[in-house]
Amino acid sequence: MIEIMDNKKIKDFLKANDINPLLLDPIKQDASNRSYFRIKNNKNTLLMDSQPEDNNNYGFIEISEYLNNIGLSAPKIFKSDHKNGLFLIEDFGKLTFNKAIKKNISEELLYINAVQCLAEIHKNINPKAIPVYSNKYLFAELSIFTEWFFKEKEITIDNTALQKWEKAWEEPLNELKRGNNKLVLRDFHADNLFWLPERKNIKRIGLIDFQDALIGHETYDISSLLEDVRRDVSEEIKKVAIQEFIKIRNIKDEKQFYQNYKVLTAQRNAKIVGIFIRLAERDNKKKYLKLVNKAMNLFLKSANDAKLEEVLQWIETYIPQHKLYLY
């Protein structure tokens, strides 16, 4: 609160919108570099401090409007100051999926609604001017693994090894078939999904953290949801959720769908290994180190399930067995 009282831009924004800064209640943040504050006398509104040099604020607003327009629940934007990265947005409350499950709300109900939400996104025409989740993006994400994991484990690799890493991924990423033209929110997981029981149908799913959305593969977000390093989803729930998605989207080639799912699960969790180490070492968020081994397990299991033999051979060649995990 001291930071707010000393920040003239925030104080001026609050004053212009008749908000007393003493009524702000900070919300503890996770990996985000944005700050959020609840307004104690207004249950429906949050102050979002999202500095424009660090965040894609225009993307957030564009995707929020799009999602609301197609009948989903994304935070409405009440007031904005783009220059200073200050926004008054809709508050979905505190009932994330993780908290809802702890309150004994049916896990199957939550996950079925979540995949129905994804299916609704995928059946609609994509918003305009959203970048494509091309192999260039996917390879850039894979480089986060090689940069931060190898630094953490003090393993030296040369440019030839890095080129072989990319080469190992070329064929599986190039072979992703069908559904490679859908809006991908990219952080579609239990901590970014809210349960809004007072709303109806798929509007009961509150969506956040979608400002970096891209046009990518239809299996990416469902993989993010079900292969979640932060919480274990049972095999039964995974099967039910995937079959619900396949049924709604009328997917004929289930075998290819599952292969694409496994490939992108492997790619995403390799990236997460690097991102979590980076959060711990660069940003001093040490708690993420506890999840690195689980992300590594998800990466290796999915690579094995997808039969990514060149990727697994590369791991075996360049990472000594005793250094495969952090501890």
Q: Name the nearest CA neighbour of 228 among 262, 258, 275, 188.
A: 188
Query: Which pLDDT belongs to residue 5?
Result: 58
Query: Which pLDDT belongs to residue 56?
Result: 85
**Assigned token pair, 289:** 């180190």
Report the distance separating Cα 288 and Cα 275, nearest Å: 9
Report pTM.
0.93
Q: Name the nearest CA neighbour of 149 among 299, 43, 18.
A: 299
Report the distance separating Cα 4 and Cα 10, nearest Å: 6
Question: Is residue 299 pLDDT above 50, yes or no?
Answer: yes
Query: Which pLDDT belongs to residue 326?
Result: 87
pLDDT higher at 20 or 33: 20
pLDDT above 70: percentage of residues in the chain: 97
Long-range pairs, 156-164, Cβ under 8 A, ≥24: 157/318, 161/314, 161/318, 164/314
Query: Which pLDDT belongs to residue 4?
Result: 60
Q: Name the nearest CA neighbour of 122 among 189, 213, 25.
A: 213
Question: Is residue 198 pLDDT above 50, yes or no?
Answer: yes
Question: Is residue 153 pLDDT above 50, yes or no?
Answer: yes
Query: Which pLDDT belongs to residue 3?
Result: 60
The alpha carbon of 277 is separated from its chain's Cα centroid by a whole number of angstroms, namely: 17
Give the CATH superfamily of 2-90.
Answer: Phosphorylase Kinase; domain 1 (3.30.200.20)
Query: Which pLDDT belongs to residue 2?
Result: 44
Residues belonging to the chain: 327
Report the distance separating Cα 63 and Cα 277, nearest Å: 29
239-251 average pLDDT score:
97
Strand 193-195 and strand 42-49: the pairing is: unpaired
Domain ranges of the chain: 2-90, 97-323
Read off the pLDDT band of 6 (50, 70, 90): low
Question: Is residue 22 pLDDT above 90, yes or no?
Answer: no
Task: Indicate the class that CATH gives domain 97-323.
Answer: alpha beta
Long-range pairs, 151-157, Cβ under 8 A, ≥24: 151/277, 151/281, 152/277, 152/281, 152/326, 153/319, 153/323, 153/326, 155/318, 155/319, 155/320, 155/323, 157/318
Question: Is residue 210 pLDDT above 80, yes or no?
Answer: yes
Query: Which pLDDT belongs to residue 52?
Result: 78
Q: What is the mean pLDDT of the chain?
A: 93
Tokens 């994509």 correspond to 126
> How many CB atoms neighbour CB 62 within 10 A?
18
Tokens 């997808």 correspond to 306
Question: Is residue 1 pLDDT above 60, yes or no?
Answer: no
Query: Which pLDDT belongs to residue 31?
Result: 66
